[in-house]
Each structure stands twice: as structure tokens, then as C-alpha cells.
A and B are shown apart, each in its own frame.
Chain A
Amino acid sequence: MPVNMKQLINLVAKEDWPFTQGHRLCPGCNAPMVAKWATMTAKALGYEPVVGAATGCLEVSTTIYPFTAWNVPYIHNAFENVAATISGAEAAYRSLKNRGKLKTDKPIKFIAFGGDGGTYDIGLQSLSGAVERGHDFLYILYDNEGYMNTGNQRSGSTPPGADATTEPVGKVKTGKVQFKKNIVEIIGAHENVYAATASTSDPFDFMAKVEKGLKHEGPAFIAVLAPCVRFWRIPESDGPKITKLAVETKYWPLYEIDRGVYKITRKPRNFKPIEEYIRSIGRFRKALQHPEYKEVIEEMQKYVDTRWERLLKFEEATKGMYLR
């Protein structure tokens, strides 16, 4: 049964927040929402979450020595190896459990948090290795589309047309030229994995996916679109509004790949043109003043339409065909 609001409120009243106040992320940041929802869901389902985090905004601002905003066991190692660290912790847990050396009966679940730098670019090999080895963990990517912690450098996740300090909009180029890497397909191609996308505009969809990922015996991966209000140049309060627009414009379709089976979890009734999404975000503003901006928008529109059609066909074709 999926978690509901009453369950969550009761949990917080009884057991306190798993992710507490006093962290120093920017006002309006969407990363703490992701951390809070994921750990609350794990607790509400009766699991003991153990959390690992890759270097990134979430890690540096929640664990400033001697403070920690985590009310659950937490480990941080380095930028590139959160998946390797959490898989080691998971292997140790399994070993202790098999030898009967554990003092608790509660099932322990392992959750890793990574930003897009620590997942798309730097942490990809350790994540791929951990997924291939089939460790039982859940990897949550909060995707803010750039190295926002160090000041808006481009990453493998930055969309075309965005203004980044390492790829600025100038007289010739319209910001970043390349498209965003499709990380869910990459992880989904490991076959024994549950991979999904979610967005901060739809917490219950995200929590249902967290539940599915925790119950899946083996690795699970969820990519959440979580805007960085500072470097997306949007008002502090508008994070969920922007991600809602991202879902409605097909920029960020909500779907899952469960061992090779595609399923679109949210199908908006009326789609909006991608231009509306691009115009609502400040980081595209410079590209919109560029003489070639129409080409960027056309290219993006064509890409998101094709991807949506492809997803619908995949959903149809892979029905019930579980790979493992």
C-alpha cells in the first residue's frame, strides 16, 4: 500500500524527522524535499534507512562539522564513489546478517543520494559497477542540471541553450550545444534494475517509486528533477511550479523501467510547447536574445516529441516482458 499523508505526519510526530531542520541549503532549494520524502517513505514503510551522499550541494550543506542534519546513519566518502561506498555498506550488512551478528531485527535499507555531477559524469563508473553487481540499494539522483555547488559549470545533464560559466552564451554559441544525457536509459540498460524518473511537482508519484525501489530486490535508481533556484534564475518559491511545467511540456517525462519493462506513470492530458518551459527559466534568457534561438527551441521541441512517441511505443512493445 502506498504511503499517505496521515502515515507520514504520524511518523514525524512519533519518531521525529529523519532529515531535520537547520541544514544550510539555499531557501527554496528542491534537494531537501527529495531527501526528506525519500527518508520519510523508508521510515514509514518500517525500514531503517542508511544514507550515503556524494559530494554536492546536499552533502556539503547538511553536514558542516560539527553539525549534521541527518537523523539516520549517514556516510560520505568522495565525489565519485557514493555507489561503491553504499554497496560496501550493504555487503557488510548482508555478511553480518548471515553470521547472526546483527543486534536489530528491523530490515535495513541503503539509500544513496547524488547530484547530477556525481551521477552523470564523475560517479557513473562506480554506479554502473554497483548496479551490475546487483547490490540491494536505492540510488536517488537529484538533478539540478549543472555543478551548482561550485557555481554553475556545465555538466552532462545541462540542457542545450542553458547559460553556464564554462559554456556561456556569446556572439557565436547559444550556450551549451549538446543535449542532456539520458541517464535513466543508461541505468535501465543494466537490466536487473528498477530505474525511474520523478519530479518535485509530484511527491506521491516519487514516494510510490521510492517504495517500489526499496521493495525491488536489487539495485534501484530514481532521477528526480530538482531545480536549483539560484542558478536556474527562477524565484525561490517556484521550484515545484517549474518542474510541473517540465512534465507538461514533455521535457521530463515521468516513467519507469522495471527490469526492461517501460511504463509511463503520468500522462498529462494537454501538452504545452517547450518554449513555455524555456521562457519561464532565467538561465535560457541570454540564449533567447541570440539570433539563432529559434533553432534551439525547434530542435528541443522535435527531440522531446520524438522521445515521447518512442516512450509510448516502448511501453506498448515491452508489456510484461521482464528481462530477469
Chain B
Amino acid sequence: MIELVNIVKKFEDRTILNIPYLAFEEGKRYVLMGVNGSGKTTLLRIMAGTLKPDMGEVKNIPRENMGYMPQLPYAFGFTVRKNVEIALPKSPSSTEKAMHALQAVGMDGMATAHGHTLSGGETQRMAFARMIALPHTLLLLDEPTSSADIRGMDEIETTLLRYVADTGCTTIISTHSPAQALRLAEEIIFLDKGEIVEQGSAKSVLRNPQNEDVKLFLKHWKI
């Protein structure tokens, strides 16, 4: 079980994350929700190890077997296929694995395209292919479909659910979309001003929220 204990992150005088305790069960799908600036990205970055908390500890993170897709993934200046291959250990089958991952997100036709020519949505699909090219025990995905069109979003979501079913990995995804949360989450963690204000099963949080901020947030989405 991955545990976050007394995590505090401040930016100048402003506390952007304050989590006394949070645990993630193995093999479960979690969705982080909240308005802009609620602390979703900060939480994922601390778990990924790209941001150090001012206080607290993250326990039992499988760093060697973790995939993290940032909000703005980078497409390197070589082919799309090589962009995926960099995530794989060098082996004779790495090209085949990369192509298989690209095929899963409908990007195999762009395998020889240059990374710098990709659109935002294509970059996200390529970055997601990097994540699923290897079997991980933990996936951290920061708004993985924010730039994708409906087809791209569907391909990423369908592939993700299949990948999780195959590998049994723990998945933590951030999103603004309640509809996407309903499709992907087993459990929703709702953040506001860096604190957890509601947590529970996807259906209970989305259909019967208790917290006033969550109610207000969901009112705008009319689900």
C-alpha cells in the first residue's frame, strides 16, 4: 500500500498541499479531482519524485516500476517510435513493443513522424504509449487527455482500462472531467486548496457529494 504521511508543500507563504494521511491500495484506480490550483499536479509530482515536499513522507512508492506522464509531456526531436523506445530497456524486441504500444493508441501510422511535428493531442497519445509499452505496478497520469480530441480520449481511456486489467497496476489519474472520472475511477479523491475535501467511490462522490465545494464544482458540469 502506498502511503502519504503529513505531506505539506508551500509556495512562498501559500500552502498548496496539506495531506495528513492518504493511502492507495494496490491494483485500484484512483482519480484526483478539483479545480485549477487545488493541488492535483503537486500531489502527482511529489509522488513521482519530481517535486520535494517541505514536510512529510511518501512510503512504498515502487520507483523502479513506476510510469509518470506529466501534464505537458515532451516529444523529443526524433521519430515517434524512438520517443516510445526510450522508455524501454534496450533489447531486440524494443521496436516491436514500441510499435505495439503506438498501435494501441492509434499512433502506429505516425511512427516515423518527427516528435516536434506532433500536435498537443498527438503528443499526449504518444506519451501515453510510452507509459503502456512496459508493465508497471504504478501509473501516475496528470490530465492524460486534456489536449486529445474525443477519439483520442476514447483510445487512451479504452487502452488504459485494458492495460490496468492486464497488469493489475495501481493507477492515479487527475482530471477535471466528472464524466471521465466516472468512466475511469473506482475511487475519487477530491482536492480543494491543497486539502482532501471528499473521498469515496466514484458513484457516491459524483452522484451524492457531501462537501459544498464538490457540490458547486459538479453543478457546473450537469452530469
* Same complex: no
Give chain A's interface residues, CB within 8 Å of chain B.
none
Give chain B's interface residues, CB within 8 Å of chain A.
none
